[in-house]
Structure 1
Amino acid sequence: MIELSKVSYTYPHTVQEALHQLSLVLEKGHCIMVTGPSGAGKTTLCLAAAGILAHEYGGKKAGIVTINGKNVADYPGLSAIAETIGIVFDDAEAQMIFTTVEEEILSALEYRGLSPEEIEKRLSEILEITYLTSLKDRSPHHLSGGQKQRVALAATLALGNDVLILDEPTSELDEHATRRIVSILKNLKSLGKTLLIVEHKFSHFHEIIDTLVVMEHGAITSIGQPDEVLKNDRIRKMVIPDFSGIRDGIIPAAPAAGTVPAIDIRHLSYSYGEVEALHDVNLTLTPGEFVAIVGENGSGKTTLVRQFNRLLTPTAGDVFIHGRNTKECTVTDLARDVGLVFQNPDHMFFADTVKEEVAFGLENLGITDRDAVIDAALTEAGLLHSKDLYPRWLSRGERQRLAIACVVAMRPKIIVLDEPTTGLDGDEARLVMEILKKHQQRGHTVVVITHNREIARDCADRIIAMDQGRVLSDTRAGGEG
């Protein structure tokens, strides 16, 4: 159905090939899962398979891509290809242009020329299977990252394409929502749909995968039935994250009597208009703790941590950072104490180079050895070789690591990360968590929002579970209350 033959591609203004002599066949009704480290070329493969590289991108191209036996270059445009192929990008928000969730889905249904009765029926079905019925009148731009991903998938499902290309469709989804998406895709496959999925959650998708493809440096380094591919130990560690042992030997120092809490939250509530996102939250985090905040999409996790540096100000209650009430501080003041890595790293970037991106945060902090600090942060993130590149040329995982480097370079006492392993393979995810544990050893307080149960279990000293804007539970490592 889709065939790539010796496809190579180099993005404009770069010399390194994003794809190198890549050949792949996606047969009708089959499901291929593509995985590998950030920067391996997975997203570029999706763009090539969907005909987007051929019709929308410059750069250096070689090889042939065919869809249903026809060269993608011979199609009159992407609208013709879109009759066969639907694609969900890794940045779901970039696909949203309407004011409500319902309108996003309706636009796709109306594009197909269906009758009003059929549109109403399919709208209801899609809202239900993607768990969006209760959100249909909300603005997609005000939803959580995971909820946005479900909206993007729903709009693509509404198009009714024979082929679905999904670039990390569950990267920001909780366990429950991920299982639901897998169930949806399993059903679509049973109906004869063809699936090309870029993912890192292998264990969730295992039962629907016909072929597992591992990419590195723009090429396929392993391909075949999943169980056969995973017999290679190196590949297995890349595909299946293992965080065991990270916490071993690291014992948080007990705070001295009278120590001021790193974060002290008192009767905190917050509302987006009439929608209450946090309700009477009370928490105290001591200096040097490693805390994981878990919960389903929309449970209030991101809203909570954005109170720490006053990106949001409490509707009611107070937040104290090292004894200072955030209401009495500016965002700039709090930047010295709290560094926040966003769920979508692209929201943090605006400079022309990776190095300048890191340098920006240091300009107002009076750090004298700036170049050394920048190089150290980029080296730790594995990005020193990319310091002169434009940040948005990096892969999703590389952009995630750049966002971490930007915050770490500022040396805040509290480091807060919203889903820091999104877009990373197993090896990279472990590396990020090891970096964060090192910062904990240096005395930093680390707060991580995560949907990854293994990260919470194997890395955190304390796990805070949230549900519907409330703290559901607060346990120490090992299950202590």
Structure 2
Amino acid sequence: MIEFAQLSYRYPDQPQVCLDQVSLTLPAGSFTLVIGPSGSGKSTLLRCLNGLVPHFSGGEVAGSVRIAAYDPIALGPRVMSRHVGMVFQSPEAQFVLERVEDEIAFALEHAAVPREQLRIRVEEVLDLLDLAPLRDRLLTTLSGGERQRVAIAATLALQPEVLVLDEPTSQLDPQSADDVLQALVRLNHDLGLTIVLAEHRSERVLPIVDLVVALDRAGRVVSGPPREILATSPLCPPLVTVARAAGWQPLPLSVKEARPFATRQGLAQQDAIAVGKTGEAGRASATGPTRPPRPYLEIRGLEAGYGNTPVLRNLDLTIAAGEITLLMGRNGIGKSTLLKCMIGLLRPRRGEIRIAGRSIAGRDVAAISRELACLPQEPDSMLFADTVADELRTTLRNHRLPVNEALIDELLAQLGLSERRERYPRDLSIGERQRVALGAISITRPGGLLLDEPTRGLDYEAKAMLGGLLRQWSREGSAIIVVSHDVEFVAEIADRVLILGQGGLIADGPPWNVLGNSPLFAPQIARIFPGRGWLTASNALQGLQQK
């Protein structure tokens, strides 16, 4: 179905190739996962399949691509959109209309599909993706998982031979992500649809794919069955990290496959082994501060909502300086609403918010952001300058602070962006843009940071680097609040975990307690070794050595 033959590609004005002599064959009906470091060319590879590269991006191409009998390089996206459906990282970016049913019908109308056939196709994809109850809903009222399924349905309505998805679960909570992935499994199994999916959180996807394509930073690829590639790849989830170190064979790719190995070693049963005292998961409880932490953010009796719809009710919360707090919850439950209230973008109906002992009432957003800087989900909303380094200089100038080039160089190095300092930010990958935006808000070293899904588009190495940087800033006294659906990242860095439910907080405690006991938010290691207090690969490896 898909064949790359010695394909090389270079973006305009870039000295190095992004893809280097890629040769690859993907059979019809296969389900393929594309992995690689942030900025390694995963999105570029996917865009070659429908002609967006090079017809939209420009640049230099050598070699060939074939989709069945079609040549995307020659035909371009206008023709290839009939054969290759693509779902981008942000489904909102490809929506045109307001209603679910209208959005699904839009591409069919522009393709001049006869009305009777159009109605049949719309009904089929609504049923196929369990969207029939939502057909009359406004897209703005849907959850993240529902919007992702609408984007897939609108793409499938054209009946493409290949479905391509770029980070489809990056903004979804675990349940919504599972709903989307199970929908893809049905499409692959029931329709024989060829699916190519790029995803950094491979722990979600590995159990359901047939092939893995791994890119490196030089644009080269290797491909093969998941166990073969993951046996040596540095980009492996916690479960595989532990399995490789423990010598488990055949290499397990899911919790279901890993549990028998833990059982044989006598480690799968629940017992009272020092829960919360092992490794990073027990960092806050085992090595906590020797004096009472100083409150930095205080929320009392907060009520907020939109129009006549209440979202938060009578919420109380205190965040300490030097503490990393992770906020979790289902899509649409109110996490971003809470962040908007904290920085003054949404005025609460009732209650008080204090930062460093001072109420934010009557203060504008710019003044609040000097003390509590916010990184939104969409990094592009923070990027205005011509180069990465200029983004940081612009922030310093806007806050009337001296432009310290040494400080800029240091922060770019910490963010792994030194080699990108003179690049145009919007030309970078989503993960790199995320890090540029983080640099832009943190260069002033505010006392508090709010980060909304900061691991979006980041590989395991980049997430580890980000975690180390956040821990360094917390040790220096910063109050850090992170909204994330990435349970593996939460397990690695959290001092405290909050779970937001309908209207308010339903859980608040150390990660080993909140995550370890959650059927929805438990990380892989907690599911393999229940009751041990192990949340991360390092926890498990340390515990296995002691065993």
TM-score between the two structures when normalised by the length of structure 1: 0.91
Corresponding residue pairs, total: 474
Alignment of 1:127-276 (within 5 A): 128=130, 133=133, 136-140=136-140, 148-190=147-189, 191-232=191-232, 234-236=234-236, 245-246=279-280, 251-253=287-289, 256=292, 259=294, 261-276=295-310
Alignment of 1:299-314 (within 5 A): 299-314=333-348
For 1:450, the equivalent position in structure 2 comes to 484
For 1:97, the equivalent position in structure 2 comes to 96
Rounded to whole Å, the distance in 2 between the matches of 1:245 and 1:396 is: 31
- How far apart are 1:84 and its partner, in Å? 1.2
- How far apart are 1:154 and its partner, in Å? 3.1
Per mean C-alpha deviation after superposition, the further-off stretch among 218-227 and 422-431 is 218-227
Q: What is the DSSP-based 3-state SS (H/G/I as helix, E as strand, rest coil) of the residue aligned with 1:478?
A: helix
Q: What is the DSSP-based 3-state SS (H/G/I as helix, E as strand, rest coil) of the residue aligned with 1:328?
A: coil
1:269 to 1:371, Cα distance in 2 relative to 1, 3 A: same
- Asked if 1:24 corresponds to 2:24, the answer is yes
1:463 touches 1:474 (CA, 8 Å); kept in 2? Answer: yes
1:56 to 1:472, Cα distance in 2 relative to 1, 3 A: same
List 4+ stretches of structure 1 deviating above 6 A.
Answer: 237-242
1:230 to 1:157, Cα distance in 2 relative to 1, 3 A: same
For 1:35, the equivalent position in structure 2 comes to 35
1:375 to 1:149, Cα distance in 2 relative to 1, 3 A: farther
1:298 touches 1:468 (CA, 8 Å); kept in 2? Answer: no
1:477 to 511, 521, 533: 511
Per mean C-alpha deviation after superposition, the further-off stretch among 20-29 and 436-445 is 20-29
For 2:533, the equivalent position in structure 1 comes to none
1:125 to 124, 127, 141: 127
Rounded to whole Å, the distance in 2 between the matches of 1:413 and 1:363 is: 18
- Asked if 1:350 corresponds to 2:384, the answer is yes
Q: What is the DSSP-based 3-state SS (H/G/I as helix, E as strand, rest coil) of the residue aligned with 1:473?
A: strand
- How far apart are 1:170 and its partner, in Å? 0.7
What do you get for the CA RMSD once the two structures are aligned? Answer: 2.6
Q: What is the DSSP-based 3-state SS (H/G/I as helix, E as strand, rest coil) of the residue aligned with 1:196?
A: strand
1:404 to 1:468, Cα distance in 2 relative to 1, 3 A: same
1:255 to 1:98, Cα distance in 2 relative to 1, 3 A: farther
Q: What are the Cα deviations for residues 255-312 of structure 1, in whole angstroms up to 9, with x where unaligned?
A: 648x4x2111122222223333323322111222111111111111111112221122
1:178 to 1:429, Cα distance in 2 relative to 1, 3 A: same
1:128 to 1:469, Cα distance in 2 relative to 1, 3 A: farther
Rounded to whole Å, the distance in 2 between the matches of 1:400 and 1:7 is: 28
Q: What are the Cα deviations for residues 51-93 of structure 1, in whole angstroms up to 9, with x where unaligned?
A: 2214333111111111213322443x42321111100112322
1:99 to 1:20, Cα distance in 2 relative to 1, 3 A: same
1:7 touches 1:20 (CA, 8 Å); kept in 2? Answer: yes
- How far apart are 1:323 and its partner, in Å? 2.1
1:54 touches 1:72 (CA, 8 Å); kept in 2? Answer: no
1:288 touches 1:445 (CA, 8 Å); kept in 2? Answer: yes
Which runs of 5 or more residues in structure 1 are unaligned? none
Q: What is the DSSP-based 3-state SS (H/G/I as helix, E as strand, rest coil) of the residue aligned with 2:220?
A: strand
Rounded to whole Å, the distance in 2 between the matches of 1:24 and 1:455 is: 32
Rounded to whole Å, the distance in 2 between the matches of 1:14 and 1:2 is: 27
Rounded to whole Å, the distance in 1 between the matches of 2:437 and 2:241 is: 21
2:12 touches 2:60 (CA, 8 Å); kept in 1? Answer: yes
Which runs of 5 or more residues in structure 2 are unaligned? 243-277, 518-547
For 2:440, the equivalent position in structure 1 comes to 406
Rounded to whole Å, the distance in 1 between the matches of 2:17 and 2:419 is: 15
Matched residues, percent identical?
A: 34
Rounded to whole Å, the distance in 1 between the matches of 2:394 and 2:93 is: 25
TM-score between the two structures when normalised by the length of structure 2: 0.80
1:263 to 1:365, Cα distance in 2 relative to 1, 3 A: same
Q: What are the Cα deviations for residues 141-164 of structure 1, in whole angstroms up to 9, with x where unaligned?
A: x76655543432232233332210
Alignment of 1:235-384 (within 5 A): 235-236=235-236, 245-246=279-280, 251-253=287-289, 256=292, 259=294, 261-368=295-402, 370-384=404-418
Rounded to whole Å, the distance in 2 between the matches of 1:462 and 1:304 is: 17
1:309 counterpart letter in structure 2: I
1:392 to 400, 419, 426: 426
1:162 counterpart letter in structure 2: E
For 2:451, the equivalent position in structure 1 comes to 417
- How far apart are 1:99 and its partner, in Å? 2.5
2:326 touches 2:484 (CA, 8 Å); kept in 1? Answer: yes
1:358 to 1:221, Cα distance in 2 relative to 1, 3 A: same
